[in-house]
Amino acid sequence: MNTKNLWLTALAVLCVSFSFAQDEDEDTTDNLTNIQEFTPSKLLKKGQWDIKFFNSIYTQTERTDAGSTSVTIPRETFFTNTTEIYTGISENRRVNIGFIFQVRSNTFGGAGALDVFNFRDNATSRSGFTTIAPSIRVQPFKSLSTFSFTSSIYLPIFADKANAPYLDKRSVFWETKFFYDKTFGQDKWQLFTQADFGFNFGEKAEDANPNDSNVGERFANNSLFMPLAVFLSYFPSPKSTVYVNTKQAFLIDLGNDFSQNSTSLGIGTKYQLTSVLNVEASFDKFVRGSNFQGLGQTFSIGLRALF
């Protein structure tokens, strides 16, 4: 079964799970809506499940040069599907465990943005399952239920190919995300903050053998990835929210002689379709960057089931 068929099969399985969960959980409609109660800061109760199927397309025709000056390039597009599955394991709702896996498809050389859905492997495109990550969520302070962190170890599972188009970072990536949110204004407004610390392990790009490895996938090895984000959300109704956000990201050199930074702005919305299923859509634009940073746009849509 090829990557495209596997991706569609995963979507079908998740849809069946959502439908089953809806039948089992009709009595939750009188509680707080999921988009209000289960922010990224909040953990699951023991026995609860959280499945998120998130898809994003990043496309660019501009990037910076070695400094911060914008230059035009042939279109490059990167599709990422991220599936997250978590469950609560503690009676006090302070520990969740799960795993994450990702599918990617990239195109280069001026191909149309939607060509990523062809899931091809040739001289200008590449696709496949790229990473899998065991993950844990922890609420460290009992008195502060809106503060938590998630720690995940991303393991690259795709084959190394010399002289192949870029697919994903060639490194073990240990990422810890810290979340905090504050609701105010009679539960109509929410401020959400996120700070990530991600360590990219692996050999230097200059030490890789160009005859049997893709050197370009090692650009981030031996670095610290540190994005910081702030979201301001407004709830026009208990089942819907709109938000704006800003993100500042740093790739800090720890030995690979490469660093970057970028700033992006975004908008998004979430809607609770049923007592179990939520849908989310968002748009982000990179407005500045440094050292070969892309200046494109990200279009995202996701489904989330909580049961």
User: Residues 6 or more apart from 134 whose CB is under 8 A from it?
Assistant: 97, 98, 99, 152, 153
Cα dist from 243 to 68, 223, 260, 303, 306, whole Å: 28, 31, 27, 17, 21
Show the 3-state SS of 259-275: CEEEEEEEEEEEEECCC
Q: What is the pLDDT of residue 17?
A: 44
Distance CA 270, CA 263 (A): 23
Q: What is the pLDDT of residue 32?
A: 62
Per-residue pLDDT of the chain (307 residues; tens, 9 = 90+): 454 554 554 555 444 444 444 444 443 334 468 888 888 899 999 999 999 999 999 999 999 999 999 999 999 999 999 999 999 999 999 999 999 999 999 999 999 999 999 999 999 999 999 999 999 999 999 999 999 999 999 999 999 999 899 999 999 999 999 999 999 999 899 999 999 999 999 988 888 888 889 999 999 999 999 999 999 999 999 999 999 999 999 999 999 999 999 999 999 999 999 999 999 999 999 999 999 999 999 999 999 999 9
Q: Say how many residues make up the chain.
A: 307
Strand segments (E) across 146-219? 147-156, 173-184, 189-200
b/e string for 148-170 if b means 16 or more Cβ within 10 A?
Answer: bbbbbbbebebeeeeebbbbbbb
List the chain domain ranges. 3-306
Strand-strand pairing, 240-253 and 223-237 = antiparallel
Residue among 247, 205, 196, 263 at smallest CA distance from 225: 196
Distance CA 201, CA 251 (A): 13
> What's domain 3-306's superfamily in CATH?
Autotransporter beta-domain (2.40.128.130)
DSSP code string of 68-79 = S-EEEEEEEEEE
- Tokens standing for residue 185: 């204004």
Q: What is the pLDDT of residue 30?
A: 41
Element (H, E) at 24: helix 3-24
Cα angle, residue 111 at apex, residues 78 and 221 outer, rounded to 5°: 35
Bridge partners (DSSP) of residue 280 are 270, 302
Strand segments (E) across the chain? 49-64, 70-88, 95-107, 125-138, 147-156, 173-184, 189-200, 223-237, 240-253, 260-272, 277-290, 297-306
Burial class (CB in 10 A: 0-12, 13-18, 19+), 104: buried
Helix spans in 27-152 (H): 34-37
